[in-house]
Chain A
Amino acid sequence: MKYLSEYRDADIARTLIARIKARATRAWTLMEVCGGQTHTIVRQGLDELLVGAVELIHGPGCPVCVTPLEQIDKALAIAARPEVIFTSFGDMLRVPGSDCDLQQVRARGADVRVVYSPLDALGLAQRHPDKEVVFFAVGFETTAPANAMAVFRARQLGVKNFSVLVSHVTVPPAITAILAAPDNRVQGFLAAGHVCAVMGWTEYEPIAEKYKVPIIITGFEPVDILEGIAMAVNQLEECRHVVENQYVRSVRRLGTKPARLLVDQVFELVDRPWRGIGQIPMSGLKLRHDFSAYDAELRFGVSDIKVTEPVECRAGDVLTGRLKPPQCPAFGVRCTPERPLGAPMVSTEGACSAYYSLARYRTAAPEEAAK
C-alpha cells in the first residue's frame, strides 16, 4: 500500500485541517472538479470538517451527471435493438433518460452488460461475432485514452461488429464556462489529477491567468485533497493565482505523451451539450472521420434524436454552484434518489443525492446538526 496508506493518514489529515483553518482569514469558495474527489470529500466528511474556512462546491466533473439526456436516449434506443449487446460502466445504468433507464431496458429484454474496461467490450465483440457490441464511451480525458485504444484496436484487428457511442467531455472548457458566468462564486479550483496525468496542465495556465484564480492539480485521497485545499487557500490569502501541482507523484506538466497522441489520433474536439448546463463550445470529443465506421450514432442512425432537458431539473445551477440542492423546488418532492429528475440525484456522491440523505438525517437529529 505504498503511496496509498500515507495519503489516508488521519494524523496528517487533522494537521492539514488545522493549518487550513488557521490560514484562512475568511471562508473561501473552492470547487473540486472531479466526481472522484467529491466522492472522497463526501465519504470522509471533509466539507463538514472545514466549515468556516472553505466552502466546497461540487463541480461538474462527474461524467454520469453531465452526460446529456439526448445521449442517454440514444443509448436506450441502441440498447433496445435485438442484435445489440450494449456495454457500459456500471453507474450509467441508473441514469434516467426521457422515459426510462438502461436497467429498465434490460428488464424488457435488452442485453445490457456492465464492463470495467472498453477493451472488455471489444473482447465481447470478438466472442460474439453474430452480435453488434456497442460501448457507451463516456467520461473525461481520463477515460479517453482507453476508449480511443478500444477503437484503435478494433480497426487494427478488423473487428467489424464493435462500435462506440461517444459522449466524451473535457475539463478546461467547463472551468472557463463557470468562470465566465456573471454570477460565478468560485474563487479557486481543485483540478482533477487523473485528467492532468493524461493531458498535463498547460491548458490551465491561461485560465488561471485570465480569471485570476488558483488552480491546483489535486489527487483523490483525503490527504491529497486537503493538501490541494491548503495550497489554494495559501494562494488566495497571498493574492496569487497560478497553476500548482499537488499530485506530483502522478502528473507532469506535459502529461503522458503516448496517451495524448492516441486520443488526438482517434478523437477531435466538438461542441457538446452538458446535461443541465447547456452547450459548451469545443468541450466534447467525437470520433475523427477516419474512425467514423466505429461510430454507433451513425451505424444505428440515432444522430437525429434531439431532446429538450426538463425545465424542472435545475442540475445546471447546482453543478455551477449557483443553487444549493435544497433550494430547488423539485428537491425531495418531485425528485428523489428513487425517482431522480436529473443525474446529480442518481449517483450517491451527486450533490443532490448527498444533500437529500443529509437533510433527512438532520430532521431526525436536530441537536447533532446544530453542533
Chain B
Amino acid sequence: MTGTVNPAAMQCPVPLEASDRVQLGHGSGGKLSAQLVACHFLPHFGNAALLQLGDASIVRVGGGELAISTDSFVVQPIEFPGGNIGSLAVHGTLNDVAMMGARPLCLTAAFILEEGLSLAVLDRVIGEMARAARDAGVPIVAGDTKVVERGKADGLYINTTGVGVVDPGFRPEPTRAVPGDVILVSGPIARHGMAIMAAREGLSFESAITSDSAALPPLVDALRQADVGVHVLRDPTRGGVASALNEIAVSSAVGVEIDEAALPVPGDVRAACEMLGLDPLYVANEGVLLAFVPEAQAARALSAMRTHPLGADAVRIGRVVAGHPRFVALRTALGGTRIVDLLPGDQLPRIC
C-alpha cells in the first residue's frame, strides 16, 4: 500500500458511455456507477489508498492505521418508517468503517439545507442523528452548514465522514474471499429500499415496511470477540446483495454461488417487490452485513451474530467456489441456475 500510482497511466476498463450527461443510473451502484468512478474520478484522483476501492480507505498514521469513509445522503422522503435521513447518515458511514473491521472513532457531518425547509423537520432529523450517534458511542466532532435557494436542493442533504481505528488482528478485505468460504447474511434483506419506495408518493401498502437502518459495529464486534477469521465483510447498501456479491467476486477473482431458498426476504417485502416487478436481491439494505468466513467457522460466526438483536435472523446463503470466477450464480428453489449480474443502471419496474 506504499506504492505510487500514476493516474495518467490508468486505463478506463469500460467503454466510454453513449451519453454526454450524468444520468440517474450513474448513482445506482450498478455498472454505470462503476463506469463513472473508473472513467471520470480515478484517472484524476487515483492514489494507493483510494484505489483499494473498499467501503473505507486505509491510511497509515504513525504506527497504526485508520479507516476513513465518506458518504452523502440524499434520500427522499427525508423521514421514512424506521428512521430519517439523519439516522441513516450516521448508520451508513459507521457501517462503511466497520466493514473494514475498524472500530469507529468519530464522525463529521455537513448539511446542505434548502431555503424554506421546516425547522421542525430539521430538528427531528438532527435529533435522530444525535440519538443514532449516541447509541453507537461515536461523537460527531466537526460539522458544516450551507443553505441554498429554494429549488436548488430537495429539502436537505447530509454528508458524513467517519474515522475508525483499524484492528491489525481483524482485517476483512474485499479481495480475501477464497473457495470454501461460506457466505452469511446477518438478517432479512431488501427492507430499506422497499420502505423508501413504499413511502414515496403514490405507493401505499397495507402495512408499513420499515427500514432496517441500524449501526452494524456491535455485530462486527460480536464476530471479532468470537475470534472468527472473517475474510470479507460488506454491507449491501445501494445495488443490494446482488451488487455487493458481484463486487466481491470480481475483487477476489472467485465464483459465488447463492441458494435462492435460503435468502431471507420478509413476506411483506417480497409481496411489495412482486407488485412493483423488482428483484429483492438488488434492493438496498442499511442494517445488514454479508460475512465471508471459512466453512469450519461458519457455525461459530452464526451463533456469535445471533447473540445480538441485529443478527438474530442471521443465516447462511451461499458459498465461494473455484468455478466461474467473477460470476455470481444463484441456485433456484427448483434446482435451476441463473446468473446474478450487475445491473447496467437503476432497477426499473417491469410492465409484465
**Contacts A49-B334, A104-B23, A339-B18 known; A361 to B329 CB distance under 8 Å?**
yes
A316-371 contacts to B, CB under 8 A, are 337-339, 347-348, 357-358, 360-361, 364-365, 367-368
Contact with A along B309-352 (1 / 0, CB 8 A): 00000000000000111110100111111110101110011111
CA distance A89 to B351 in the complex (A): 6
Render A91-130 as a binary contact track against B, CB cut-off 8 A, 1 for contact: 1111000001001101110000011100010010000000
When the two chains form their complex, are residues A361 and B23 in contact, meaning their CB atoms are under 8 A apart?
no
- Chain B residue, CB-CB nearest to A140: B352
Please, which residues of chain A bring their CB within 8 A of the CB of B349?
89-91, 114, 116
Contact A44–B18 (Cβ < 8 Å): no
Q: How far is the CB of A35 from chain B (nearest CB, A)?
A: 5
Q: Which residues of A contact B23 (CB under 8 A)?
A: 103-104, 106-107
Q: Is the CB of B338 within 8 A of A42?
A: yes
25 contacts between A and B (CB under 8 A): A10-B334, A14-B334, A17-B334, A35-B350, A35-B351, A42-B338, A45-B334, A45-B336, A63-B352, A89-B350, A90-B348, A91-B350, A91-B351, A93-B348, A94-B345, A103-B345, A104-B23, A107-B24, A123-B202, A142-B352, A143-B351, A337-B344, A347-B350, A348-B341, A364-B326
Task: Provide the bound-state CA to CA distance between A160 and B183, in Å.
Answer: 56
For window 12-52 of chain B, which residues contact chain A by CB distance below 8 Å?
14-15, 18-19, 21-25, 31
Complex: A178 Cα to B337 Cα, angstroms: 30
On whether the beta carbons of B351 and A364 are closer than 8 Å, the reply is: no
> Binding site of B, secondary structure by majority: helix, strand, loop or mixed?
loop
A34 at the binding interface (Cβ < 8 Å):
yes
Distance of A89 Cα from B348 Cα, bound (Å) = 9
B127 in the interface, Cβ–Cβ < 8 Å?
no
List of B residues within 8 angstroms of A13 by Cβ: 334
Shortest Cβ distance from residue B112 to the other chain A in the assembled complex, whole angstroms: 21
Q: Does chain A have a CB within 8 A of B203?
A: yes
Query: Which residues of chain B come closer than 8 Å to A348, judged between CB atoms?
Result: 341, 343
Q: Which of B203, B323, B344, B351 contacts A94 (CB 8 A)?
A: B344
Counting contact residues on chain A (CB < 8 A from B), the size range is: 35 or more
Q: Contact residues of A with B, CB < 8 Å?
A: 1, 8, 10, 13-14, 17, 34-36, 39, 42-46, 48-49, 61-64, 89-94, 100, 103-104, 106-108, 114-116, 120, 123, 138-140, 142-143, 194, 222, 337-339, 347-348, 357-358, 360-361, 364-365, 367-368
Beta-carbon contact of A115 and B202 below 8 Å = yes
**Chain B residues with CB under 8 A of A365:** 255, 323-324, 327
Does B276 sit within 8 A of A, measured CB to CB?
yes
A120 to B352, CA, bound (A): 18
Q: Are A106 and B352 also in contact (CB < 8 A) when A337-B344, A364-B327 are? A: no
Given A43-B338, A44-B334, A106-B24, 6 further pairs, Cβ under 8 A:
A48-B336, A91-B349, A94-B344, A94-B345, A348-B341, A358-B339
B7 located at the interface, meaning its Cβ lies under 8 Å from any Cβ of chain A in the complex? no
Q: How far is the CA of A347 from the CA of B334 in the complex (A)?
A: 23
In the complex, how many angstroms separate the beta carbon of B347 from the nearest chain A beta carbon? 8
Q: Which residues of B contact A46 (CB under 8 A)?
A: 334, 336
B255 near A45: Cβ-Cβ < 8 Å: no
Contact B277 A104 (CB under 8 A): no
Task: Point out the residue from B18, B19, B203, B334 that lies within 8 Å of A116, measured CB to CB.
Answer: B203
Contact check, B350 vs A361: say whether CB atoms are below 8 A apart.
no
Q: Is the CB of B348 within 8 A of A94?
A: yes
Q: Select B339's contact among A17, A89, A92, A361, beta carbons within 8 Å.
A: A361
